[in-house]
Amino acid sequence: MILLVLSVVLLVALRIFFFWRFQYWEKLQIPYLRPYCPFGCLPNPLINKEKGGIILKRLYRNVRDKGWKHAGIFVFVTPVYLPTNLDYIKNILTKDFEHFDDRGLYYNEKDDPLSGHLINLGGPKGVTMRKKLNSLFTPSSLKMMFQTLNTSIEDLLQQIHSRNTIDIHKLFTCFTIHVIASCTLGLECNIFKEEHLLFESYANKFLVWSRGKWCLQLLAAMYIDTARKLKVRTVPKETEDFFVKIVTKNIKYREENDYFRQDMMQFFIEQKNANTMSINEIIAQCFIFFIAAYETSTTTLTFALYELAQNLDIQDRVRREITSVLLKHQKYSYEAIAEMKYLNQIVDETMRKYPPFLYVVRRCTKDYTIPGEDVTIKKGIFALISILGIHHDEEIYPNPQKFDPDRFSKENKKMRHPYAYLPFGEGPRICIGTAVGKIVTISFKITL
């Protein structure tokens, strides 16, 4: 009898708790999507197999269909702000960035060292790290990567000519790993000759998501202090051990043999010797540069060639442009790529239809009053921006499922809101390696 009474009391208490939490946005007089106990606005994560970005796109569409500029949603019982108006999004990402200068992502530099990378770091620590790394991605630095890129392309052509049948996805993976391992890790290797692609294996241990992993990441982000006390890991130990070994052996070899190469790894060695970056910070940045470039480049290449195979008129047009530009320059160069306007449009349209990142996360770091509205977003509230929702919004991109590179002609771009295209985010925390991934993608397509 006592157990029954306690159960009833617990259920009533939970009901009251959920009812109280689900009134959050109503009290602020912000329109909100109706939540359901206990998952809020999310489908049941135990049975739903959709990615978070797909779910968020659907929520974005619901808000847009209601004619709202923004809305409140709930992730379980946690209130989350969902802006859909592009001016509101611009304010959060750029104009009023000081109120949203943190992604609010979980990291634990002590127990999960590789999680302490630029993407996860927030606040002053993230700003400081970004300032240190900005010099790696200047136009002059990108030009220096071309020698590495050209060597990789030569190896790629040998592979293509030596085979009758090509597994295109595997070829993409090999090429991307070859380029990124050399540019970010400073490794002189021919990944095409490796029987077992160790880089791919250990990268995928981190990249492949399960429902359990998604829920863990979500809860760790919402309850960061608790997750740190529990020593939650986001990077598998095997992946950490692999990258620690690769980077430390590389640094040791260069220092012991007085080996110098003007690349990213040399920059990190100089930072280490100047005591401006620890070895763990260096490994974490090498890790995320490799992971981010590998994942985005491979994915974009795959979808771009798929669309070219489906649209032969686009394929013929870009082939003519590439041939014309290369004849003019007499060689493949950084400057030649800049002149290939239509090829760049194809890459942009690929990342519009298949964005490498499906959403942007920001956490409010100080109370923020929405311009033009008597509404304040409180410190600690997460803001989610649906990149996939914006890119597939037919009010912004008519017939969004059609692959149309002319959407990104100079004239058409001027007609759109500048924040209608966000494949890598925008503002002070835009993905720092955007240019590298785009160059790798374009280089591969020129080769083919």
Q: How far is CA 350 from CA 223, 328, 346, in A?
A: 35, 27, 6
Alpha-carbon span 111 to 400, nearest angstrom: 43
Q: Is 431 annotated as a binding residue?
A: yes
SS3 (DSSP) at 82? strand
Alpha-carbon span 370 to 75, nearest angstrom: 22
* Residues in contact with 65: Cβ distance below 8 Å, sequence separation at least 6, in sequence order: none
Amino acid letter, residue 246: I
Q: Contact at 8 Å (CB) between 439 and 332?
A: no
Report the Cα 105 to chain-centroid distance in Å: 13
Q: How far is CA 287 from CA 12, 216, 242, in A?
A: 48, 21, 10
DSSP state of 401: T
Tell me the two tokens of residue 120. 């996860």
Alpha-carbon span 245 to 228, nearest angstrom: 25
Beta strands 359-363; 78-83: pairing state: unpaired
H helices present in 354-386, as ranges: none
Overall residue count recorded for the chain in this entry: 448
3-state secondary structure 268-331: HHHHHHCCCCCHHHHHHHHHHHHHHHHHHHHHHHHHHHHHHHHCHHHHHHHHHHHHHHHHHHCC
Binding region for heme:
431
Binding region:
431
